[in-house]
Structure 1
Amino acid sequence: MKGKIAVVVMAVLLVFYLVSVGVRAVLFIQSGEPVGIAIGLALLILPLIGFWALAREVVFGVRSERLMRELERLGGLPAADLAVRPSGRPYRDAADEQFPAAQAGVEAEPENWHAWLRLGLAYDAAGDRKRARGAIRTAISLERTPK
């Protein structure tokens, strides 16, 4: 629950920041000066990119959490018996031991979103966030594709 609260707080702060930048951009554009207009237009692009990125991350989080709940309901989540550091993150060696099984699951059933989600969890436990997000995005895509 603390994680969700932190996400909401960060999202609200980001929206406040982006709105503030957007207001300043409009003021620059309204100045009528060529340099002010150029700065204003450049500043308008930043909030647009920021809102797009925020929306994309929130949608990713909601969809991945929904898949996690569904996989848990089906009893398909990997065992949570990894040795962990005091911070709660698994030790890399312990996470690496579970990785081959998750990878074999994807190789055996490449169209199964359950396998891709378990692979994403294995990547995350091993500390490879980029590949974890990619695997989870694949799981989301496969789950949303009509069969």
Structure 2
Amino acid sequence: MAVLLAVYLVLVGQRAVMFVMTGEPIGIAIGVFLIVLPIVGAWALVRELMFGVRTQQLVERLEREDELPVDDLPKRPSGRPERAAADAEFEQYRLDVEADETSWRAWFRLGLAYDASGDRRRARAALRTAIALERDERKGRPASA
């Protein structure tokens, strides 16, 4: 999907230049809009790819440290965890974050618990917090939750 989006952004960018080069005011306006659109799209694409890379790095680190939670929740036919089981396990991860809001590991596990419970927005927010806290830890800065 990322490659298709990149191809799309290049094609839109080419069309934008063609509109600007017409010299017509409406063509220039459309061209400028079409130039901004690929820039915003490219920014969003890079941001999402970096989020995925950083998240995978944290997964690998937790695996090396043998601290990655075991995925033993019962599954629906779709492969997603059963909501009731995920919600029951969620409470422990929430309490872990409350006990130490500066622990990237606790935030990461909370993000996985949010995802298992079906709350993708909060899962991504928790994972972004984990990424920031881990970056601070790695650079020797005081953690800021």
* Structure 1 and Structure 2 fold alike (TM over 0.5): yes
* Shift >6 Å, 4+ stretches: none
One-letter amino acid of the structure 2 residue matched with residue 139 of structure 1 = A
Residue 105 of structure 1 deviates from its aligned partner by 0.6
CA distance in 1 between partners of 2:64 and 2:100 (Å): 20
CA shift for structure 1 position 76: 1.3
Give me the whole-angstrom Cα distance separating, in 1, the residues matched to 2:109 and 2:30.
46
Is 1:95 the equivalent of 2:90?
Answer: no
Give structure 2 stretches of 5+ with no counterpart: 141-145
- Of 115, 119, 141, the match for 2:132: 141
Match of 2:61 in 1: 70
Asked if residue 121 in structure 1 is aligned to residue 108 in structure 2, the reply is no
Distance 2:3 2:71 in 1: 32
TM-score (norm 2): 0.93
User: Partners in 1 of 2:34 and 2:70 — Cα distance?
Assistant: 47
Aligned length: 138
Deviation at 1:126, TM superposition (A): 0.3
Match of 1:22 among 13, 16, 33: 13
Structure 1 gaps, min length 5: 1-9
1:110 counterpart SS class: coil
Query: 19, 32, 40: which one pairs with 2:31?
Result: 40
- Calculate percent identity across the aligned residue pairs: 59
Distance, in Å, in 1 between the alignment partners of 2:12 and 2:70 is: 45
Distance 1:46 1:132 in 2: 28
